């Protein structure tokens, strides 16, 4: 993983946490971890038959579909599925979500923010965090907690933990879920920091987190299944396709057809990451595949060069819904690049970026 990856750490041998985590994963006693999971689930099963056993956040993506299968079919829990609809669903994503809910017969709640506020947040998100998707990051974190508190469901079951892929934590020192996890990992700023001339505090009500007192009073805890069972995304996708008819599709920014397939905008999320940090999602996927021996580093670099620098087709749609110009977009992103690192070249000196710059480009701030 590149050193510009957020929160990455290297040991004295120059090995990053992603590789360290995989090494730890190979030595974990997964039978013991499974027993721990069973104990947690048994502890939170509803004893008097009046409430749900747990809550499962679900987008219909490969992780949430699999975690719903595990909870319902393997551990015989009665979950409430909860979806924050980012309002950018792809047709494949819609099919996968409703297909898994119907085939597993799951009770389900969905919230969808209005299109106008999504567009405004997508614009301001770029300025605030150098990413187009604040509303999704913040909404997923907040809505799940809001429903957990209102329905008094203390156990939230997530799927893949950060320890699996990014290098920001490891299986030895996993990130523990709490009220602020999604803000710290992805949203970066709280709703009050998104208020401006176009977006009011009232507009941001759906993205507000419950208070610390409310979360504590409801006894909310969150667990990641990948901390308790051997997580293998490739095999899980094949299982979902075979057993439930789950569908892959073309996803901009990478060579895999399953990650973020439920959304039309992952290409923008990953392109801004490339502009800001010098690498995109195909680097993440290549790194994972190289670590587990599915490809060589040399093969990986060829794939990266093909996918990471490519400006996504959805880029024009993003400019349309936000009202940003080409120049405004790249100026904002170059300023974010300078905040991340001074080691990466300016856009006009980067051969992978300068071909896409607007004419008469004068760059961002030094």
* pLDDT of 48: 87
Structure tokens of 221?
A: 């805890």
- For the CA atoms of 130, 134, 138, 143, what is the dihedral angle to 10 degrees? -170
Conformation bin of residue 347: beta by default, left when phi > 0, alpha when psi is -120 to 50 = alpha
Q: How confident is the model at residue 362 (pLDDT cuts 50, 70, 90)?
A: confident
Higher local confidence (pLDDT), 78 or 365: 78
One DSSP character per residue, 45-105 reads: S-SSSSS-SEEEE--SSHHHHHHHHIIIIIS---EEEEEE--S-B-HHHHHHHHHHHHHHT
Q: 356-365 — which CB contacts under 8 Å span 24+ positions?
A: 356/311, 357/330, 358/325, 358/326, 358/327, 358/330, 361/327, 361/330, 363/331, 363/334, 364/330, 364/331, 364/332, 364/333, 364/334, 364/335, 364/337, 364/338, 365/334, 365/335, 365/338
* pLDDT of 109: 98
State whether residue 326 is helix, strand or coil: helix
Q: What share of the chain has pLDDT > 90, as a percent? A: 87
17-27 and 281-291 are packed helices; what angle lies between their axes, rounded to 10 degrees? 40
Reported as a single tens digit per residue, the pLDDT across 334-344 is: 999 999 998 99
Cα–Cα distance for residue pair 340/48, rounded to 1 Å: 52
Reported as a single tens digit per residue, the pLDDT across 258-294 is: 989 999 999 999 999 999 999 999 999 999 999 999 9
Cα–Cα distance for residue pair 303/59, rounded to 1 Å: 28
Sheet with 54-57, edge to edge strand ranges: 107-111, 79-84, 54-57, 155-158, 221-224
Q: Which residue do the tokens 């995304």 mark?
A: 233
Reported as a single tens digit per residue, the pLDDT across 7-27 is: 888 999 999 888 998 999 999
Cα–Cα distance for residue pair 89/112, rounded to 1 Å: 11
Q: How confident is the model at residue 365 (pLDDT cuts 50, 70, 90)?
A: low
310 DSSP 8-state letter: P
Q: What share of the chain has pLDDT > 70, as a percent? A: 99
Cα–Cα distance for residue pair 327/324, rounded to 1 Å: 8
Reported as a single tens digit per residue, the pLDDT across 82-100 is: 999 999 999 999 999 999 9
- Assigned architecture for domain 17-233: 3-Layer(aba) Sandwich (3.40)
Cα–Cα distance for residue pair 308/352, rounded to 1 Å: 9
| Cβ contact 185:251 at 8 Å | no
The neighbour count for residue 288, using CB atoms within 10 Å, is 21
Reported as a single tens digit per residue, the pLDDT across 23-66 is: 999 999 999 999 999 999 999 999 888 899 999 999 999 999 99
Tell me what the mean pLDDT of segment 238-266 comes to.
Answer: 96
Tell me what the mean pLDDT of segment 340-362 comes to.
Answer: 91
Reported as a single tens digit per residue, the pLDDT across 150-200 is: 999 999 999 998 888 776 778 888 888 999 999 999 999 999 999 999 999
Q: Please report the sign of the dihedral spanned by the C-alpha atoms of residue 123, residue 129, residue 135, residue 137.
A: positive
Cα–Cα distance for residue pair 244/248, rounded to 1 Å: 12
Cα–Cα distance for residue pair 287/282, rounded to 1 Å: 8
Q: What element of type H or E holds 147?
A: helix 134-151
* pLDDT of 203: 97
Average pLDDT along the chain: 94
Angle at 10 between CA 7 and CA 12, to 5 degrees: 155
* pLDDT of 25: 92
Determine which of 72-81, 328-337, 357-366 has the lowest per-residue pLDDT on average: 357-366
pLDDT surpassing 60 at residue 366 = no
* pLDDT of 172: 80
Q: How confident is the model at residue 254 (pLDDT cuts 50, 70, 90)?
A: very high
* pLDDT of 162: 85
Domains of the chain: which residue ranges? 17-233, 251-343
């Amino acid at each position: 993983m590149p050193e510009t990856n957020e929160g990455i750490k290297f040991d004295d041998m120059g090995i990053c946490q992603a590789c360290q985590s995989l090494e730890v994963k190979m030595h974990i006693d997964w039978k013991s971890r499974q027993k721990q999971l069973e104990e947690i689930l048994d502890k939170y099963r509803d004893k008097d038959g009046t409430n749900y056993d747990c809550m499962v956040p679900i987008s219909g993506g490969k992780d949430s579909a699999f975690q719903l299968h595990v909870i319902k079919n393997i551990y015989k829990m009665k979950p409430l599925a909860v979806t924050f609809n980012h309002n950018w669903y792809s047709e494949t994503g819609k099919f996968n979500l409703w297909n898994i809910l119907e085939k597993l017969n799951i009770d389900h709640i969905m919230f969808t923010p209005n299109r106008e506020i999504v567009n405004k947040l997508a614009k301001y998100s770029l300025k605030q965090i150098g990413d187009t998707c604040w509303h999704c990051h913040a909404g997923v974190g907040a809505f799940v907690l809001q429903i957990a508190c209102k329905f008094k469901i203390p156990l939230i079951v997530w799927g893949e933990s950060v320890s699996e892929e990014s290098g920001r934590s490891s299986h030895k020192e996993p990130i523990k879920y709490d009220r602020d996890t999604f803000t710290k990992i992805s949203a970066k700023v709280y709703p009050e920091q998104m208020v401006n001339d176009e977006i009011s505090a009232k507009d941001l009500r759906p993205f507000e987190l419950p208070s610390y007192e409310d979360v504590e009073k409801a006894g909310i805890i969150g667990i990641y299944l990948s901390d308790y069972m051997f997580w293998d995304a490739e095999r899980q996708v094949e299982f979902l396709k075979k057993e439930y008819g789950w569908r892959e599709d073309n996803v901009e920014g990478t060579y895999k057809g399953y990650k973020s397939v439920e959304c039309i905008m992952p290409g923008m999320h990953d392109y801004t990451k490339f502009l800001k940090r010098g690498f995109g999602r195909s680097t993440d996927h290549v790194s994972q595949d190289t670590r587990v021996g599915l490809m060589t580093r040399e093969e990986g670099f060829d794939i990266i060069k093909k996918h990471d620098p490519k400006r996504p087709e959805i880029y024009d749609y993003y400019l349309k819904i936000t009202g940003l110009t080409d120049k405004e977009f790249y100026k904002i992103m170059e300023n974010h690049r300078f905040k991340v690192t001074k080691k990466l070249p300016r856009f006009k000196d980067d051969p992978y970026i300068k071909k896409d710059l607007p004419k008469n480009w004068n760059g961002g701030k030094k």
